[in-house]
Amino acid sequence: MNLKDYLILKKISQITFANSIDVSPISLARYLNGVRFPDKKILSKIIKYTNGVVSADDFLFSQKKIDKLTNTEEKEILHMLKKIRNGSKKYIGKAITMIESSLEKDRILSEFLIDNFNYNKKSLRIGITGVPGVGKSTFIESLGVSLTKQNKKVAVLAVDPSSQKTGGSILGDKTRMEKLSINRKAFIRPSPSQGQLGGVAKKTRESILCLEEAGFNIIFVETMGVGQSETLVNDMVDIFLVLLLPSGGDELQGIKKGLIEMADLLIINKADNDLLNAAKKTVKDYQNALEISGRKAHDYGPSVFSCSSISSTGIDKIWDSVKKFIQKAKKEKKFEKKRVEQKIKWLWESVGLKTDEIINSRLKKNNLVHIIENKIKNQEISFYYGSRLIFEILKKIY
CATH of the domain at 204: 3.40.50.300
Task: Give the predicted TM-score (pTM) of the model.
Answer: 0.78
Domain co-membership, 241 together with 358: no
Say how far residue 388 (Cα) sits from the centre of its chain. Answer: 33
How confident is the model over 241-298, as pLDDT tens digits?
A: 989 888 744 455 545 556 667 789 999 999 888 888 888 888 888 888 777 766 554 4
List the single range of 167-181, 321-335, 355-369 with lowest mean pLDDT: 167-181
Q: Do the domain assignments include residue 181?
A: yes
Domain co-membership, 326 together with 351: no
Number of structural domains the chain divides into: 3
pLDDT at 15 over 80: yes
Q: Which residues contact 376 (CB under 8 A, 6 or more apart)?
A: 382, 383, 386
Give the residue from 309, 332, 355 where a domain finishes.
332
Q: Which of 54-63, 150-159, 275-284, 363-372 has the highest mean pLDDT?
A: 150-159
How confident is the model over 372-398, as pLDDT tens digits?
A: 999 999 999 898 899 988 888 887 766
* H/E stretch holding 7: helix 3-10
Domain co-membership, 294 together with 349: no
Dihedral (CA of 345, 348, 350, 356) sign: negative
Q: Which residues contact 111 (CB under 8 A, 6 or more apart)?
A: 67
Q: Please state, in angstroms and as integers, the Cα–Cα distance from residue 221 to each residue in 26, 234, 272, following that order.
A: 50, 10, 25
pLDDT at 31 over 60: yes
Domain co-membership, 54 together with 192: no
Distance CA 165, CA 183 (A): 32
Residue 163 pLDDT grade (very low, low, confident, very high; cuts 50, 70, 90)? very low
Q: Do the domain assignments include residue 350?
A: yes
Distance CA 84, CA 76 (A): 12
Q: Do the domain assignments include residue 340?
A: no
**Rg (the chain; Cα; Å):** 26
The SS3 of residue 198 is helix
Domain co-membership, 207 together with 287: yes
Cross-strand partners of 240: 127
Q: Please state, in angstroms and as integers, the Cα–Cα distance from residue 230 to each residue in 66, 128, 133, 236, 290, following that order.
A: 37, 9, 17, 10, 19
Q: Do the domain assignments include residue 123?
A: yes
Domain co-membership, 356 together with 323: no
Domain co-membership, 227 together with 147: yes
Domain co-membership, 375 together with 328: no
Pick from 63, 65, 56: nearest CA to 38: 56
Domain co-membership, 171 together with 292: yes
Distance CA 346, CA 321 (A): 28
Contact 113, 98 (CB under 8 A): yes
Q: Do the domain assignments include residue 67?
A: no
Domain co-membership, 190 together with 300: yes
Domain co-membership, 258 together with 383: no
The whole domain housing 256 covers 118-332
Q: Specify the CATH number for the domain of residue 19.
A: 1.10.260.40
Q: Do the domain assignments include residue 80?
A: no
Distance CA 202, CA 310 (A): 32
pLDDT at 100 over 60: yes
Q: Do the domain assignments include residue 111?
A: no
Q: Which residues contact 187 (CB under 8 A, 6 or more apart)?
A: 89, 92, 153, 154, 155, 156, 211, 214, 216
Q: Do the domain assignments include residue 90?
A: no
Q: Which of 80-84, 162-166, 367-371, 390-394 has the highest mean pLDDT?
A: 80-84
Pick from 358, 299, 307: nearest CA to 329: 299
Query: Looking at this protein, which amino acid is placed at residue 349?
Result: E
Domain co-membership, 350 together with 277: no
